[in-house]
C-alpha cells in the first residue's frame, strides 16, 4: 500500500544516500564503520525518524549492525553445529553468518516468495509445531505482524531445545504495548503503529509476554557496549534474549 508516510520515508532515504555519496566523492573521512559488511563509511543514511539508519555500502540497519556487534563481542553466542530458525531472513549479512555457523539452518517466512533464497521455507509461526529442534530462533521485526503473539511465543518456546534461545527484535515505543482490534484499517494501523501491516506496537513490557511463555528473558541494548563503538557503528534497537530453561 502506497501512503504519504511511505513516500516521504523513501524520498528522505534517497536524498540522504545521495548526500553521503557526494561527501565520499569529495574526500570526506570515513570515520564510521559497519560491522555487517566491514566497510568504513562517511556516515549512515536517514530513514524516517532515524537520522543514522542505513549503511551506504550494504544497507544494514541499526538492528542488523547491533546483532553483528553483539556476536563479535560474544555477548550472544551461536553454539557449535547449531540448529537455527531464521524468520523473515531479509538481512543478507546475518543469513550468511548464521548459515556458516549452523549445521541445520532454516530460513523461513509466511511469504517465502519475498526472499531470493533457494532453500527458503514457508512457515506460519502460528502453526509452528517443532519440538525441541532449534538452538536459536531469530525473528527481527516479526512479532508485531502475528495475530496472536502469546500463541507464537508458546510455539517458539516448545520449538527450542532446553537451553536454546530466541533472539527477538521489535519496533519499540516508550509506552506499554498496545494491541489493535482485528478490524483496524491498514491506514489506521499505519497511523497508530507506524506501518500498515502492524497489528500492535510493543513497549519493553514485551518481556512480560515472553516470560509468560515459560522463557527466561534478558533485554540487551547499547548500554552494555562502549560508547565509542556505539557511535562509530551507529548501533541501535533492543534485543529480547529469551532462554528455554534446561
pLDDT in tens, 86-109: 999 999 999 999 999 999 999 999
Output the furthest CA–CA distance in the chain (Å, rounded).
56
Q: Model-level pTM greater than 0.75?
A: yes
Please give the pLDDT value at position 4: 73
Residue 226, φ and ψ in degrees, nearest 5? -50, 135
> Which pairs from 181-187 meet CB under 8 Å and 24+ separation?
182/147, 186/1, 187/3
User: 7-21, 60-74, 84-98, 99-113: lowest mean pLDDT where?
Assistant: 7-21
Residue with cell 507464537: 152
CATH class of the structural domain 63-243: alpha beta
Cα separation, 36 vs 28, whole angstroms: 21
Q: pLDDT digits over 28-49, tens only?
A: 999 999 999 999 999 999 999 8
Q: pLDDT digits over 143-166, tens only?
A: 999 999 999 999 999 999 999 999
- In the chain, domain spans: 4-60, 63-243
Rounded to the nearest 10 degrees, what angle do helices 92-101 and 62-72 cross at?
30
Q: Enumerate residues 6+ apart whose C-beta is below 8 A from 148.
A: 126
Cα separation, 223 vs 227, whole angstroms: 8
Shortest CA distance to 31 belongs to which of 236, 235, 237, 229?
Answer: 229
Q: pLDDT digits over 158-203, tens only?
A: 999 999 999 999 999 999 999 999 889 988 988 899 888 999 999 9
Amino acid at each position: 500500500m502506497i501512503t504519504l508516510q511511505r513516500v516521504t520515508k523513501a524520498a528522505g532515504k534517497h536524498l540522504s544516500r545521495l548526500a553521503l555519496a557526494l561527501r565520499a566523492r569529495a574526500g570526506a573521512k570515513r570515520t564510521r564503520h559497519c560491522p555487517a559488511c566491514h566497510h568504513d563509511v562517511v556516515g549512515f543514511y536517514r530513514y524516517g525518524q532515524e537520522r543514522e539508519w542505513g549503511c551506504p555500502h550494504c544497507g544494514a540497519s541499526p538492528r542488523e549492525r547491533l546483532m553483528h556487534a553483539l556476536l563479535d563481542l560474544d555477548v550472544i553466542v551461536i553454539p557449535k553445529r547449531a540448529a537455527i530458525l531464521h524468520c523473515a531472513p531479509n538481512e543478507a549479512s546475518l543469513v550468511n553468518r548464521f548459515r556458516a555457523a549452523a549445521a541445520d539452518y532454516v530460513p523461513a517466512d509466511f511469504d517465502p516468495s519475498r526472499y531470493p533464497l533457494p532453500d527458503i521455507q514457508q512457515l506460519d509461526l502460528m502453526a509452528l509445531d517443532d519440538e525441541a529442534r532449534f538452538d536459536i530462533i531469530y525473528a527481527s521485526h516479526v512479532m508485531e505482524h502475528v495475530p496472536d503473539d502469546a500463541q507464537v511465543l508458546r510455539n517458539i518456546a516448545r520449538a527450542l531445545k532446553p537451553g536454546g534461545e530466541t533472539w527477538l527484535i521489535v519496533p519499540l515505543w516508550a509506552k506499554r504495548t498496545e494491541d489493535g482490534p482485528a478490524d483496524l484499517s491498514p491506514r489506521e494501523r499505519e497511523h497508530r503503529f507506524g506501518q500498515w501491516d502492524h497489528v500492535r506496537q510493543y513497549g519493553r513490557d514485551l518481556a512480560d509476554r515472553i516470560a509468560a511463555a515459560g522463557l527466561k528473558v534478558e533485554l540487551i541494548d547499547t548500554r552494555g557496549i562502549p560508547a565509542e563503538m556505539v557511535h562509530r557503528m551507529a548501533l541501535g534497537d533492543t534485543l529480547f534474549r529469551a532462554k528455554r530453561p534446561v
